[in-house]
Structure 1
Amino acid sequence: MSKFLTISPFLLIGQLESFVMKNALITKYLRIKVTSREFWVEIPKELGVYLDIKLSPKDWLEIQGTRETKGSMGIFKLKAETIKTLTRPQKACVMIMPEQASKKKILVCKQTRCWERGGKSLYQQIQAKLVDRSLMNQVEIRLTECLKQCKKGPNIVILPDEIQYNQVSVRQVDNLLEKYFT
């Protein structure tokens, strides 16, 4: 797992255990029991005001939202987007959809110094090679502001790895695309 934040949708069906309040007025989290596990689901402010009136412990809920996973430890937060009360007891379950693969990006510095040192031809070469390799749907190329390495231009950054390359020549494009995008 990468060191970056990954977001994926989830569906949770379980019984309400209790509310975790903020300021004794607003519900901050719902404690939901799913089989033998307990999940804390963060509630947006808009939903938190109305939940106290409608729900009571042991109610069955269906919660949809997003799961944010940070870092390599696998620690995650569940944030609710919709909450439905179920009339009949359901089979408790948690479904976390696969992480949506974000489009990889190549940022090319467009500042004058980088552009004059070969940035323009580098940008055009990267575009051409992405088309040749049929990678235009998977890799986005963007012009960006100064990368603060003007004397070492042209400069590029490869995302999501955030790896910066300086003094990149047109001859290096094939190797970089091979290394990161195949």
Structure 2
Amino acid sequence: MGEKHLTLSQLNLEGQFLGFVGDSGKFKYLRLGIPSGDVQVKLPKELRSSLSLSLVHGEQIRVDGISKLNSRTGEIKFKAYRVQPTGACPIEKLTPQTKAKIMVCQKSGCLKRGGKGLLSELEKTLCDRGLSDKVTIEHTGCQKRCSSAPNCVLRIGKKHYKKIHPEAIASLLENHFS
């Protein structure tokens, strides 16, 4: 990993296999769900093809490897040298359910073009469907998309949805949390 990375320690993690990360069939990382959240672990080339055939989504696995610290950015990276199924039954809700976030612009341009109405309709729709405790609504500054005001962005995990109606937001959230 180069000179800017310092080896920290041996890595022994057990958790739920959440899938692979990478471009169309050429994945480099696996996502592992542990009680404190999700982590990405880099896989060596020799393990990638065999793991893609043997791992099942939701399966409990053990990852042995090393963790390295980027001395410039302070970021910790994980690299595996062995991945094994533990034989334990998958735990349905191992990772805490991530809250969704809705970011609504509260600058004057968006407010004049219906931002207040959008916000109140959004809060009412979420309350009616029982989703208000699972979602954080954040008031933001300008989102630099003034031509499509009022602006609101729904973020669920790493996915972002823009220009959607409150009913569509509620439907997406119901599908995500069910």
**TM-score, scaled relative to structure 1:** 0.47
- When Rg is computed on C-alpha atoms for both structures, the one with the higher figure is 1
**TM-score, scaled relative to structure 2:** 0.48
